[in-house]
Homo-oligomer: A and B are copies of this chain.
């Protein structure tokens, strides 16, 4: 479930190349009675439990007795579940549902996509100033502890800010506002309170944003995608410390 990756760690004025432990992330296709239902981005353990619990939560499987067979193909990232009383396709599709993702595999997206080539840079003191301003703006979080924040910034400050109970929603609101108001996102920075998984990274890549800053952890697939796509990924920005997981050349040290 974990992987060691090389990072650049900054603490005050000192920097060193070290390793960090990140959580693995795995795209799992859930196929019910030969119909692909959803792609869940998950930790690669207990895949059959995940598929079944997911089907249970969607009320597509109600008891163990309905289950005829469960087949796991870890290489393809597939769990196939066969049940009695197969629901027809129309009913399944009408449930729409189901994953917080686009259903695309991050790897395939990454390979179709050109690198982000922005030459912009940011200094550690600008990073600390942005995260301080960001925390100050997260007012609903301060009141409730129940929301995530996201912001589009340049190196001098926040341009667009949003909070939402969903980490994906907070970022979608920022890009939606930029789209409507013709605010360019390339050569800019996304700051988020959330963990940086592959889906968050792909949203940022779709906006051509070269730098993402988070106070939280990235996943292993988030780091790989950032690396592949040319995005600078900075995590665990807390106090005077930060970890740089990918494309550290954009941090002007």
Cβ A176 vs Cβ B46 within 8 A: yes
Instruction: Give the segment of A8-16, A124-132, A140-148 that binds chain B.
Output: A140-148
Cβ A99 vs Cβ B102 within 8 A: no
User: What is the bound-complex CA distance between A168 and B57, given in angstroms?
Assistant: 10
Residue A229 at the chain B interface, CB threshold 8 Å: no
How many positions in chain A have a CB within 8 Å of any CB in the partner chain? 74
Residue A253 at the chain B interface, CB threshold 8 Å: no
Closest B residue by C-beta to A70:
B180
Query: A102 and B176 in contact (CB under 8 A), knowing A53-B171, A169-B40?
Result: no
Distance of A144 from chain B, by nearest CB (Å): 4
Distance of A181 from chain B, by nearest CB (Å): 9
Tell which of B53, B98, B177, B236 touches A177, judged by Cβ atoms closer than 8 Å: B53
User: What is the bound-complex CA distance between A224 and B172, given in angstroms?
Assistant: 26
Query: A46 and B162 in contact (CB under 8 A), knowing A23-B146, A102-B58?
Result: yes
Tell me which residues from 178 to 237 in chain A have a Cβ below 8 Å from any Cβ of chain B: 179-180, 182, 195, 197, 202-203, 206-207, 216-219, 236
Cβ A166 vs Cβ B51 within 8 A: no
Distance of A138 from chain B, by nearest CB (Å): 11
Tell which of B50, B93, B203, B217 touches A57, judged by Cβ atoms closer than 8 Å: B203
Cβ A145 vs Cβ B216 within 8 A: yes
Residue A76 at the chain B interface, CB threshold 8 Å: no
Residue A96 at the chain B interface, CB threshold 8 Å: yes
Cβ B182 vs Cβ A50 within 8 A: no
Distance of A106 from chain B, by nearest CB (Å): 13
User: What is the bound-complex CA distance between A53 and B195, given in angstroms?
Assistant: 19
Tell me which residues from 115 to 157 in chain A have a Cβ below 8 Å from any Cβ of chain B: 140, 143-147
Further 9 A-B residue pairs, CB within 8 A, beyond A50-B172, A146-B219: A21-B144, A23-B144, A23-B147, A38-B96, A49-B180, A50-B176, A54-B172, A57-B102, A98-B98
